[in-house]
Amino acid sequence: MSRLTLLLIIVTCLSISVLANITTETQWRYFKLTYRKLYSKVEDRYRFAVFQRNLLLAQKYQAANPNAKFGVTQFSDLTPAEFKARYLGLRIRTNTSEKSNYYKPKITDIPAAWDWKEKGAVTSVKNQGNCGSCWAFSAIQNIEGLNFLKNRPLVDLSEQQLVDCDQIDQGCNGGEMQIAFQWLADHGGVASQEDYPYKGYGQTCKFSASMAKVQVTGYLNISTDETEIAKSLIEIGPLSIGVVADPWQFYIEGIMGPTLCDGELDHGVLLVGYGHGKGIISEADFWLIKNSWGGGWGEYGYIRLERGYNACGMNKDVSTATIA
């Protein structure tokens, strides 16, 4: 095992209560080595001060959410404002009360657990990089699941196409999943990741209709009721959702509750399942959510939110594309 791998295990597996017994300076050195952070002397002093404040903020989240673990992550050198600006790119334009075109699930009963990842409908964890393109990842990964269930096989599709070409949304400066779905429906569909790879910054649009691998026909909104969301998840496939993700900056593992996770929706992710399982201190019902910050964040790129409490606003903006 390399020194870098060992340091990664140390940083990501120790809780705040354990790290409190290590000096802040030592934690800072671990952090920089683990995440390969390089700063000038002036920048190092500033980022260390940010890191110290973030340790205290993570302790606050930990106290409020004991069934999850919060601590040092790859984002621990960013102020909350920087984190929000760079990684939380959901920009809701439509008032929830004004939304229409809702999907009506047909099933009456749901199983105790469901996981589209285990059923082969979810691509590997992706990384949006230093770009507020979460909305594009949420939208595209919903379409990937729909395409797998309808047409087979599972194909990685292009988030970069939306970043570059969707002029209604704002690329790395944010967007909304429903707008992205409708844009794709109006402009010839979506290309594959292979044909239009992700770069993590805006470029001149390179899409032509001949590149389309999936034809999008529109979108549907989903109920705000969590039971109805579960029914829709089972009937449709993985769903695009908006969440309040500010505390996710320091999430490591476990089942996160609704405490300290309110405010305006600011991040687009993919709802892939639900179940009942062990958190840090107890078992709880949870939603399983795929993020787009790489496999090194959270539970191998995923987070579990406590189910039944509208945690992090996960019920407020749920939608799906429709495809041919």
Instruction: Report the catalytic residues.
Output: 134, 267, 291
CA 141-142-146 angle, 5° bins: 115
Residue type, 19: L
User: Tokens 């109006």 — which residue?
Assistant: 186
Q: Which residues is 240 bridged to in the sheet? A: 270, 319
- Structural element, H or E, at residue 114: strand 114-115
**C-alpha dist (Å) from residue 167 to 88, 182, 184, 250:** 19, 12, 11, 32
C-alpha neighbours within 13 Å on the C-beta side of residue 110: 19
**Contact predicate 284/276, CB 8 Å:** yes
Report how far residue 269's alpha carbon sits from residue 139's, in angstroms, rounded to the nearest whole number. Answer: 8
